[in-house]
Structure 1
Amino acid sequence: MKKYAYIRVSSIDQNELRQLKAMEKLEIPKPNIYIDKQSGKDFQRQNYQKLVQRLKPGDLLYILSIDRLGRNYKEIQNQWRHLTEERKIDICVIDMPLLDTRRYKDLLGTFISDLVLQVLSFVAESERDNIRKRQAQGIAAAKAKGIRFGRPEVKVPQNFEKLVNKWRNNKITCEEILKICEISKATFYRRVREMGIS
């Protein structure tokens, strides 16, 4: 039996240190710790997939909490069954001792584990939905205050329309306008459309 750990944070700027410390206390070898810095919406995560390929029957996988495994209700349950029934490994969720497949192997234990798993995976997905709603509300509030998102708008010179008219009359090339205005070809054509110059 080999011990493995899976750690996930939602983005590159989040810190996985808390999860790493928990795994170090369990003396899991560093090469057996897999980390993804990616959303938990699905299981198409590079290091998670590598981990699953390494798991052999009888191995033990540690995760700190069920939401670190994922945040999609059905996907969490499908993965749990894939790992425990098809891969025949044990899983231990550190923050939830009831979700330790090494214990409770009888029918009642399995029922309790399944029930807890369903509740926690539902909570994980609900939290993901709440995060998305809060983000949307935050973006809407920022836009209402006049905060702009994305790259700043590219300015064109005041004589842009005159340059475009010269271009239309074949007196100047598009490339010359791009150099004069210091803009890309995509910006040039977009601004031409926006200004209704055809």
Structure 2
Amino acid sequence: MRTIFYARVSTRDQTLDHQITQAEAAGFTIDEVVADHGISGVKHKLSDRSEGRRLFDKLRSGDTLVLRWLDRLGRNYDDVTDAVRHFIRQGVIIRTVINDMTFDGSTSDPVQQAVRDAMIAFLAATAQAQAEASKIAQQAGIALAKTKGDRFRGRKPSYDRKTFDLAVSLLGLGNGPSIVSRETGLSRQTLIRIRDEPDAASAAMERWGL
């Protein structure tokens, strides 16, 4: 039984070393790392990625698949839910670094199965919604920059893309700004703005190239 860590590292996200360090700091002992670099979770489903495809052949019953978060599998609802359910049916345990969530097929109770599947669906839907919101915000930021000219960028955000994504994920799970502040180092006021106006926050990062 092995513990395999899978990372999808985009050019605007965390580095691979950072993701591994974060997992080890959370108490995971990793036997092997599988990573895709520069891959969009929106455009490429897991089975289409060179390294992600290896997981379907590599993982066996009893193995544990560790992810920083479910969005590393993808940003499309169907792709993520299909991949998670496939691995669960194969007897693979899926665990996340953020919030230490566990998804497996150990329960035979239909109510517990329903709760598990509902949580998987919610997280997959959240990943897709965040991706779509970011795309709209980026387009809005580009349009605004063209309208106002290069000199108008507003105040520079106090966070980068990886911190923003982490904050949105944690807030989306119902964590309050105070709790998320301890995880991200951002102020409560900043987190409230991100929570209430995520599109504006993402557009600001786009204007500043963050």
Q: Tell me what 1:28 maps to.
A: 30
Using the alignment, how far apart are the partners of 1:18 and 1:105 within structure 2?
37
- Determine helix, strand or coil for the equivalent of 2:4: strand
The answer to whether structure 1 residue 142 and structure 2 residue 148 are counterparts is: no
Using the alignment, how far apart are the partners of 2:19 and 2:113 within structure 1?
26
The answer to whether structure 1 residue 39 and structure 2 residue 1 are counterparts is: no
Which of residues 32, 39, 55 in structure 1 aligns to 2:59? 55
Mapped contact 1:84–1:90 kept (Cα < 8 A): yes
Which of residues 96, 108, 116 in structure 2 aligns to 1:93? 96
Mapped contact 1:99–1:117 kept (Cα < 8 A): no
Bigger relative contact order, structure 1 or 2, given CA contacts below 8 A and separation 6+?
Answer: 2
- Determine helix, strand or coil for the equivalent of 2:8: strand
Which of residues 74, 81, 87 in structure 1 aligns to 2:78? 74
The answer to whether structure 1 residue 121 and structure 2 residue 124 are counterparts is: yes
Question: How far does residue 132 in structure 1 lie from its aligned partner after superposition?
Answer: 0.3
When residues 97 and 13 of structure 1 are mapped into structure 2, their CA distance, relative to the original with a 3 A threshold, is closer
Mapped contact 1:99–1:113 kept (Cα < 8 A): no
Q: Which runs of 5+ in 1 are unaligned?
A: 148-198
Mapped contact 1:40–1:70 kept (Cα < 8 A): yes
Using the alignment, how far apart are the partners of 1:99 and 1:88 within structure 2?
13
Q: Which moved more, 1:88-97 or 1:118-127?
A: 88-97
When residues 145 and 77 of structure 1 are mapped into structure 2, their CA distance, relative to the original with a 3 A threshold, is same
CA RMSD of aligned residues (A): 2.2
- Equivalent residue pairs, number: 144
- Determine helix, strand or coil for the equivalent of 1:46: coil
- Determine helix, strand or coil for the equivalent of 2:66: strand
Q: Tell me what 1:185 maps to.
A: none
Question: How far does residue 28 in structure 1 lie from its aligned partner after superposition?
Answer: 0.6
Amino acid across the alignment from 1:2: R
Question: How far does residue 12 in structure 1 lie from its aligned partner after superposition?
Answer: 6.5
Q: Which runs of 5+ in 2 are unaligned?
A: 151-210
Which TM-score applies when normalising by structure 1?
A: 0.64
Mapped contact 1:58–1:90 kept (Cα < 8 A): yes
Mapped contact 1:93–1:99 kept (Cα < 8 A): yes
Amino acid across the alignment from 2:53: Q
Q: Which runs of 4+ in 1 moved over 6 A?
A: none
- Determine helix, strand or coil for the equivalent of 1:84: helix
Q: Tell me what 2:156 maps to.
A: none
Using the alignment, how far apart are the partners of 1:118 and 1:91 within structure 2?
14
Deviations 1:129-168 (A, max 9, x none): 0110011111112222455xxxxxxxxxxxxxxxxxxxxx
Q: Residues 159-178 of structure 1 correspond to what in structure 2 (within 5 A)? A: none
Question: How far does residue 16 in structure 1 lie from its aligned partner after superposition?
Answer: 3.2
Deviations 1:43-85 (A, max 9, x none): 2221111222211222111112111221111111111121111
Which TM-score applies when normalising by structure 2?
A: 0.61
Mapped contact 1:91–1:102 kept (Cα < 8 A): no
Using the alignment, how far apart are the partners of 1:14 and 1:96 within structure 2?
17
Q: Tell me what 1:111 maps to.
A: 114
